[in-house]
Structure 1
Amino acid sequence: MKQDRASRAAGQGSVGTMKHWRYIALHTVAAAAFIFLLQRYALSATLESSLLWALTFGGCAAGLAYMQSNR
């Protein structure tokens, strides 16, 4: 009986962890895509510059989403 409760508790935590990482990934992709499109097409930046900014903003968004999800 105890093992059943423990496995259910572990299972619920893993689902919460899955949603946690999905939330972080969604923020990362959304921020990177937004800044890439803004830089590349609205501001006519080079491909290299747009990718660098996308990587930077994606990393910052991932960090912020991680901090928010751990509150």
Structure 2
Amino acid sequence: MIEPRIEVECLEDGAIRVRRGAWSDRVPRARIDHWADHYELMHLNNGNAGYLELARALREAKAKLLS
């Protein structure tokens, strides 16, 4: 089964919404790096590549959408 792609959008208040399929998370602008670090740690703890993809998506979104 192919997982849905990760979608990222910048919200009006500057937060980032990251979504994959039915799951989504809203990350405040000031906490983007914290959440990216958290997802990387989750990847290290359980090996789920999806967490690493989410961390990368958040970092890319910060660089692209909030620069």
Q: What interval of TM-score do these two structures reach, taking the shorter chain for normalisation? A: 0.3 to 0.5
Which structure has the larger Rg? Answer: 1
More strand by share: 2
* Higher RCO (C-alpha 8 Å, min separation 6): 1
Q: TM-score, normalised by structure 2?
A: 0.36
